[in-house]
Structure 1
Amino acid sequence: MLEEIRVKMMKRVGQMRKFCDSWIHDFSPMALKVLTDHTARSMKCSIEWNSDTGYEILEGQFRHVVDLPRQTCSCRAWMLKGIPCPHAIAAFHHKKLNPMDYISQWYSRDTYMKIYSHFIQPVLNLKIWPPSTNPTVIPPKVRNMHVPGRPKITGGRKQMNL
């Protein structure tokens, strides 16, 4: 089983590096799709601005507060995902900022390539390995499990009456 996992991981690292080479942008396609969906939702939001850095974004019946310098939104999606939420994107458009500049570095090509930079090396067939001189490991003896609770008193001890 471990051999199958090793081979599968060896192949996966190579496949994921090839996948990263196919990206047309510096961010993962999944992050760009989420950003595109959020951008479409941001077009339906109403913006109230305090002429500084605070924004109130109204989406349907919900009101969210966006703080651009701290990169926070009261919906918390931006902080959890690392991708600007629709409310932050609405504020970016109001300030004429590019939302792509605010995607977390965890979605970048460089980070992705660092993750998959360690290759698993091929190994000779197990049958070619020299026999081990170490003693074989024997599994422990199977013990019967007792009923949960206080263990029973065994041996020559008398039971105390309370």
Structure 2
Amino acid sequence: MGTGQQFSQYLVKCIEANLKNSRTCDCGYFQALHFPCQHALACCAYSRVTWSSYVHSVYQISSVFRVYQMGFTPPIPEGFWPPYNGPTVIPDPAKRRAREGRPRSTRIRTNMDEADPNRPKRCGLCRQPGHTRRSCPQLGGPSHTGGQ
């Protein structure tokens, strides 16, 4: 306010960007954001009207400072809280969402999904038991193992 600016820096940046891209049509931003979009700015320039009269008062610096005029009480540190005598709520860990990683499968598994422990594992490439795809003798050299 000491610099004499009437509007917030956010609004000024938006108006400058809109002035660069001004054309003539209606996009709906003027009604939604309550400040002139590029189309409204083009109309203002054509009609020789100042755009500042079409800006909502919430963008004025004076109204931003009015928000902070009222005092507010800081939160009380946890050590000074009064004792709590109500019920203790314990969250169900099964209902929590996983924060990261692969989502857990919700498929219902049956006995058909269980692997036979007596059956040996086979190579995914040649289907022979005793080795894996990575160490398969049919690969033919180090050029097919991913550069190893």
**TM-score under structure 1 normalisation?**
0.46
Higher relative contact order (CA 8 A, sep 6+): 1
**Which is richer in strand?**
1
Q: Rg larger in 1 or in 2? A: 2
Normalising by structure 2, we get a TM-score of: 0.50
